[in-house]
């Protein structure tokens, strides 16, 4: 992490967000006002560009929510959009970001969703996923090989079914 990098942490009872600029004291942001439940996960922007150092996504809530901050956790925007949050079996488990396109890939207990417009619209992105695309996906990871002429690949860890790979550019 470079100078000015922010570290995010989830606090007591999975309600509070803490941030710290590397080498500084922790700041308690309390519960993000838009959050209707507890925090599941916080993920920072994968780029180290100065314009992205304060950017993070928060998963949680009930019904499920995806929140976004660009100011180090002081203010949050709900980007849940049209996700099927009313489904009792739906819950976000992980999120990854394409640092070039800023497309988001969301692992859920009901498959993988993708947005190309910062959460306004989400699409079930589970083509070739075991179980008809609705299995619980626990983790997402990416490998960016575009600089070498390759793809931006998204890997999904699927409960009981192994690893799934898909080119992030696919619709």
Domain assignments of the chain as residue spans, ordered by start: 1-74, 81-171
Please give the pLDDT value at position 4. Answer: 60
Q: Is the pTM of this model over 0.85?
A: yes
Q: Is residue 119 packed enough to be buried (19+ CB in 10 Å), middle (13-18) or exposed (0-12)? A: buried
Residue with the two structure tokens 């308690």: 28
Please give the pLDDT value at position 1. Answer: 43
Structure tokens at 62: 């009930």
CB 41 within 8 A of CB 67: no
Residue 165 neighbours by CB under 8 Å, 6+ apart: 153, 154, 155, 156
Helix, strand, coil share (%) of the chain residues, nearest 5: 10, 40, 50
CA distances from 87 to 44, 67, 92, 105, 124 (A): 27, 19, 12, 19, 14
Residue 62 neighbours by CB under 8 Å, 6+ apart: 36, 37, 38
Which ranges constitute the DSSP H helices of 33-165?
A: none
CB 129 within 8 A of CB 140: no
Distance (Å, rounded) from C-alpha 19 to C-alpha 38?
A: 17
pLDDT in tens, the chain (171 residues): 444 678 899 988 888 899 988 778 998 887 888 888 889 899 998 887 877 888 999 998 778 899 999 998 889 999 999 998 877 778 889 999 999 999 999 998 888 999 999 999 999 988 777 766 678 889 999 999 999 999 999 999 987 788 898 898 887
Distance (Å, rounded) from C-alpha 155 to C-alpha 19?
A: 28
CA atoms 124, 109, 81, 41: torsion sign: negative
């Amino acid at each position: 992490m470079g100078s000015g990098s922010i570290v995010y942490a989830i606090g007591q009872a999975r309600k509070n967000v803490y941030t710290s600029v590397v080498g500084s004291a922790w700041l308690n942001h309390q519960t993000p006002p838009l959050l209707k439940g507890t925090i599941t996960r916080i993920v920072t922007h994968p780029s180290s560009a100065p314009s992205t150092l304060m950017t993070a996504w928060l998963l949680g809530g009930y019904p499920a929510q995806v929140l976004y901050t660009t100011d180090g956790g002081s203010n949050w925007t709900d980007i849940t959009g049209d996700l099927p949050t009313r489904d009792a079996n739906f819950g976000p488990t992980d999120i990854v970001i394409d640092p070039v396109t800023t497309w988001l890939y969301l692992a859920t207990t009901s498959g993988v969703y993708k947005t190309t417009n910062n959460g306004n619209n989400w699409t079930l992105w589970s083509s070739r996923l075991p179980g008809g695309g609705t299995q619980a996906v626990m983790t997402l990871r990416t490998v960016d090989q575009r600089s070498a002429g390759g793809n931006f690949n998204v890997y999904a860890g699927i409960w009981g079914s192994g690893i799934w790979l898909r080119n992030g550019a696919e619709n």
